[in-house]
Structure 1
Amino acid sequence: MFLLDFSKPINILELPQEKEWQKNIISFLKDWYNNSETIVTQTSGSTGIPKDIVLTKSAMTESASLTGKYLNLSSGDTALLCMPSLYIAGKMMLVRSIVWNLKLYCIEPSSYPLKNTDKKFTFSAMTPMQVEKSLEKIENIDKLIVGGAQIPSSLLSKLKFLNTDVYESFGMTETISHIALKKVSGNSPCTSFQLLPNTKIRVDRRGCLCIQPSFLSEEIITNDLVSLVSDREFEWQGRIDNIINSGGIKIFPEKVEKQLKSIINREFIISSREDAVLGKKVILIVEGDVIPELKEIVSQFTFDSKYEKPKEIIYVNQFERTKTGKIIRNKIF
């Protein structure tokens, strides 16, 4: 672990750079403080081939400013960077720390970010997996944003009992990290995402979310199906490119997965296969060894709709994942 105290000048030459993750942080800082007005970063590759995206530093600065206002960050607060700085989540933790003059503690990215520290932090960002493996110490963080993947319902139930303010985030590289947050901790967790200030949204004819943050000149059109609660709130339903049309019924894999995560303590996804009668049949794909009792458990499970029940269970040794840990759905078969 090393400290970047942005409440005072930083001498990049004095920072440790023996390890690759340290070099990545220093590389970003050099890019940030050079004369260029832009930063190049890469998408995760979960919904397609990873690609480079050019972001302006002014837009990244405004995004960081909006997050800090939403979370009420202050100069001198402590933060933890435990995500790779090669990608937008890690880069934006650095930018938020620069903008808000935070004291940023940097550790090597891992699944167990709090394993070797008992230090208390004002603010951090993690993936759901990192949160799951840090629950014993997670209350050492006052405010935590969680992104990179949907939070499983099994984890959500544990977050209700924490004193930490935990927010599920919604965003993508193109929107410079999150544009909306949803508080999921405490006795009364939110069911919808709340927009950051100065952000406008609408849905297109497909029912997909279109986003216009104040810091971007062009509207971002997504493939995320949502229902608008108000002009400041929305509920996420799933990706339109993942929809399964089974016998004329539209099935949202992410919705089914959220239900099944309460009974399956293993990595899995809902997908489909060709079927002579239904066109596509819903299937459950589980990573790892066969679970003998799972077929019976799933058959007895009460789904929101009978059409959501998988017709088949398939096991794979290991899912192919992006560098940020997301399962690549289109590379299962």
Structure 2
Amino acid sequence: MCDFLVHSLLQNSALKTPNEICVQYKNDSWSYIELYNHCLKIKKYLDEIIVVERRNIGIHFNNDPSFLISFFGILMAGHTVVPIPYYSTQTEVERIIHFCDIKILFTDKKFSSTHVNTTDVSFVVSRYRNNTLDFKSPLINKNSPALILPTSGSTGDPKFVMLSHYNIYSNAIAHGREIQHNSNDIFIITMPLSFSSTITTQILSCIYSNVKFHIVPLPLFPRAILNYIEKYKINCLAAVPSFLMNLIEAIESYNYKIDFKLSFITISGAPVTQRLNKQLKEIFPKTDVIQTYGLTEASPRVTMMRRGYQKLCCGKPVDGVEIKINKQESKREGEISVRGVNIMIGYYKNKKLTQSTFNKNWLRTGDIGYLDSDGDLHLIGRKKNIIISGGINIYPEEIEEFFFNQIGVIQSMVIGEKHYILGESPVVYLTINNEFNIKNIYNQSTKFLSRYKIPKRWYKVKNIPLNNTGKVIRTFKPELLHSEVILDLL
């Protein structure tokens, strides 16, 4: 079967390897045929209660098999899935329900809303018997929307991305082919199931490759995850940098003996620093550390390092994807633009934003990067984060990486402060430990950073705000950080 529909990936595996284990959760597991049977029950339930042609249907679960069952069942019935992040507040959930025109919500939580019918997956699954499998689906166009995903990008303003079946299907297969799973791989999901990266490059890519994957409920505690990996012989995972930093800290703090081998770690959500890459190589010397680049609007995978790569970069485009750098004058870097079969339909109920995001079929990402002589992508920062000091563009991410690579620095955040002559000047907020030596680090900064890039004020803070993918949240009020000035160069 090759109709380019997302749920056909599960259908194909249920036909080819029906009794192989697909997913494990705690001490329970489901074969492909068992998972598919449960999904068919959701489809049958929706067929009975919905008479209109298409609906947007919400799903709101922690990392749990109920997410998978409702996700595939909704798609099989010909509807569009709206995954709502489990950590959302009730107000945020209500806002998504209203904006995305959701009338049915699969969830294990109780809501006071009168605008939506809530349904428990276990109720639906227990309602129907396992009948003869029917692999027929309603007539669905591959270009029709399969997912509507909330994303805030780096601005904090919620947007809702519409991805078609073909967007997601093609991107999942492209990622799966590049990652080169083998039959012995056992994958663990460490990110929320509602993320586009989790859906496409983990769940669907594993199903396409017939790889068993484990779902672990959130929140994840590093030491528990290490024990889980060892117990279930996990040999591959995907994670965001902040999760891996916490994992490394736990290994070092508890003198944890690594008795397992990882085939690969794919990293997304934020750039990998030299320091993090070095730490991972020291702890897992035979593991492929694969940095990737993508965004929800691209389903999400755009580029990735190939297996065996030693150079730290974002790699080359996956199959079906093109990138170009919109350079200014003689500069090597510029805004990254993307086009391909993975690019979104548009933003839900926002034609104006959709039109402004595209330039002649090229998606403008808002990210700044460059291509090296091998054609590999390197990410520098966000266009909207640029600090303009005396007419010179400064990328805060470049300065943050310098600080992160210094002994005694746990986390850093660079932003622009108003300056009466320069317009803006860079300042840095630091979380530090007892090994921090301000004199040594300042001396290092004069060697590795141009003079105009050296932050003019250094602040010590207890915590730096991060989002759920480990990216620094820059839309905040600095006075709320309760900072202490430890160096003033103004």
1:115 corresponds in structure 2 to: 226
Residue deviations 1:129-168 (CA, integer Å, cap 9, x gap): 2223335559633122111112232211123342111101
Q: Which residue of 1 aligns with 2:425?
A: 281
2:21 counterpart residue number:
none
| 1:133 match: secondary structure | helix
CA contact (8 A) 1:43 1:173 kept: yes
- Structure of larger gyration radius: 2
Residue 41 of structure 1 pairs with residue 186 of structure 2: no
Greater strand share, structure number? 1
Could you report, residue by residue, the CA deviation over 1:56-91 in whole angstroms, capped at 9, with x for unpaired residues? Answer: 122211111011111112467422112101221222
Assess if the C-alpha contact under 8 Å between 1:5 and 1:103 holds in 2: no
How large is the Cα RMSD of the aligned pairs? 3.1
1:179 aligned partner, one-letter code? V
- 1:122 CA displacement: 4.6
Change (3 A) 1:268 1:245: same
Match of 1:214 among 334, 341, 346: 341
Change (3 A) 1:259 1:227: same
| Cα offset, 1:125, TM superposition | 1.0
SS at match of 2:367: strand
Identity of aligned residues (%): 21
Q: How far apart, CA to CA, are the structure 1 residues paired with 2:183 and 2:170? A: 16
Structure 1 position 246, deviation (Å): 1.7
1:99 aligns with 2:208: yes
Deviates more, 1:222-231 or 1:90-99: 222-231
Gap runs ≥5 in structure 2: 1-24, 40-60, 80-143, 252-257, 329-333, 346-360, 479-490
Q: Aligned partners of 1:214, 1:96: CA distance in 2, in Å?
A: 16
Structure 1 residues 151 and 326 mapped into 2: Cα distance closer, same or farther (>3 Å)?
same
Q: Give the 3-state SS of the residue equivalent to 1:330 in structure 2.
A: coil
Which amino acid in 1 is paired with 2:272? I
* Residue-pair matches, total: 328
Tell me if the contact between 1:7 and 1:103 (Cα under 8 Å) persists in the aligned partners: no
Higher relative helix content: 2
- Give the SS at the match of 1:114: helix
Q: Deviations over 1:219-251 (max 9, x none)?
A: 311111112236942222211211112223321
How far is the alpha carbon of 1:190 from its aligned partner?
Answer: 3.9
1:272 partner SS: strand
2:421 is paired with a residue whose SS is coil
What residue is the counterpart of 1:126 in the other structure?
239
Mean CA deviation greater in 301-310 or 27-36:
27-36
Work out the CA distance in 2 between the residues paired with 1:319 and 1:115.
26
Is residue 167 of structure 1 aligned with residue 310 of structure 2? no
Q: Which runs of 5+ in 1 are unaligned?
A: 14-18
- What is the aligned counterpart of 1:204 among 301, 306, 326? 326
SS in 1 for 2:405: coil
Equivalent of 1:143, from 252, 260, 264?
A: 264
User: Alignment partner of 2:475: what SS?
Assistant: helix
